[in-house]
Amino acid sequence: MTFNNAIDTTLTRKRVLYLAWPIILSNISAPLLGLVDTAVIGNLNNPALIGAIAIGAMIFSFIYWGFGFLRMGTTGLIAQSRGAEDNDGAKAAFYRALIIAVSIGSILLLLQNVLAGFAFSVIEGSPAVEEAAVTYFNIRIWSAPLSLIHLVLMGYLLAHQKSTTILWIQLLLNGTNIVLDFVFVAGFGWGVAGIAAATVIAEIVTTCVGVYIVFRHMRCSYMTIAVPMSILKDIQAVLKTLRINRDIMIRTLSLIFAFAWFTNEGAKSGDIMLATNAILMQFVAFSAFFLDGYALAAESLVGTAVGAKNRSGLDRTLRYINELGLVTAIILSAIFFLAGPAMIDLLTNVDEVRNTTRTYLLWVVAAPVISLWCYLLDGVFIGATCTREMRNAMVFSLMAYLAAWYLLAPVFLNHGLWLSLHVYFVVRALTLWYYLPNVRARCT
């Protein structure tokens, strides 16, 4: 049986769920770490330390989110090589991404003072908060190369559909971090420095384990970890890698800007509205943890189908992720509708914020079903490495979002802001749908 035919016989709804749910569980485990960080540091009777952790974590989230192409591009390229049964191509794609990750990580270390200066000039905080946040930054920045390598490792494993392994690695990362939080902060009394050191050590341990797992898998699957230098240095492949990474980075920065704009515009309406939108965005983020599981499964499955020139495998992947994603989105919307008020009461005890948040609850009830399609199609286009189309769609969607905000927010205020965000979700999906024939063309 050829690999092409094997895809057809093994790709079922159960297989998609098998790939998606470990990723979903992995996504859900991440916020737990933030809660523990906050709880541990929050018992030191110093509110400034809580703010410092929030600011420091936000800075690194933006950095690593911006370099998310190291995972996404790696997944698409390796999955396609795997589908084409090009073993050397798969290994070369991994090594190229690894070289880029180490290079960027080293540059971040060299420019850490410049990066810190810029970050803390943009973010406003009290002197006490900023001082503690700088301490956090100065320690955690040393794990930057390892964090970027970790993204590449995740891309390799996802391309090989090892989602359960990804879950265990994520649990190792967060579990080690949580244990060291208590040791360094509660035990040794290191405060913010302890939180940062715990994160750095957890990233060192997890990256080392990840490297071992990937190279062991590479030996078992490809017989050797070596790849001919002529293939690794192939100029066309190198340029393709750089082009894909550039497009994904532009797409990601556009996405970051869109949500930063949303937060900033909400803040202009006062503290109550800022708190209201922050709580509601927790619902949106929670649903994204689930829906992204199907998107990441699509990256691997679509990449494999494209590499194998398997149109049937592509069509089946599209059908299954849409069916399963829609069922999940409807369930999430029902949960938000029925349990939303109780969940809001758990997140805040301020009556004015509670009442205002309930006023806007229907926007997050609608969000899972409305946003589903742009998440899923993102995964499809990443797997097919149709990154130029994805970049163009994201830029156009961002312009549509800002235009909708300009027209709607002055009239409908915060409701207009939320409506413009939903317009953003819809336009992202429609523009990607417009480009979908380009993905299908990759399978011929």
Domain ranges (residues) in the chain: 13-233, 247-444
Q: What is the pLDDT of residue 281?
A: 83
Cβ–Cβ < 8 Å for 227, 88:
yes
Compute the residue count for the chain.
444
Structure tokens at 371: 């946003």
CA separation, residue 272 to residues 185, 264, 352, 421 (Å): 33, 13, 7, 19
Q: What is the pLDDT of residue 9?
A: 56
Q: What is the pLDDT of residue 212?
A: 96
Residue 426, CA atoms < 13 Å, CB-side half-sphere: 11
CA separation, residue 385 to residues 98, 131, 440 (Å): 18, 43, 12
Please identify which residue in the block is written with the tokens 């908060």.
Answer: 129
Cβ–Cβ < 8 Å for 425, 284:
no
Q: How far apart are CA 241 and CA 250, in angstroms?
A: 14
Spacing of C-alpha 256 from chain mean position: 11
Q: How far apart are CA 240 and CA 122, in angstroms?
A: 34
Q: What is the pLDDT of residue 4?
A: 52
pLDDT tens across the length of the chain (444 residues): 455 554 555 788 888 988 888 888 887 766 666 656 666 776 666 666 766 777 777 788 788 888 888 999 999 999 999 999 999 999 999 999 999 999 999 999 999 999 888 887 776 666 777 788 889 899 999 999 999 999 999 999 999 999 999 999 999 998 898 899 889 988 888 888 898 999 899 999 999 999 999 999 999 999 899 999 998 888 998 999 999 999 999 998 899 888 888 877 876 777 777 778 877 887 888 888 889 999 999 999 999 999 999 999 999 999 999 999 999 999 999 999 999 888 888 776 778 878 888 999 999 999 999 999 999 999 999 999 999 999 999 999 999 999 999 999 998 988 999 999 999 999 999 999 999 999 999 887
Neighbours of 241 (CB within 10 A): 22
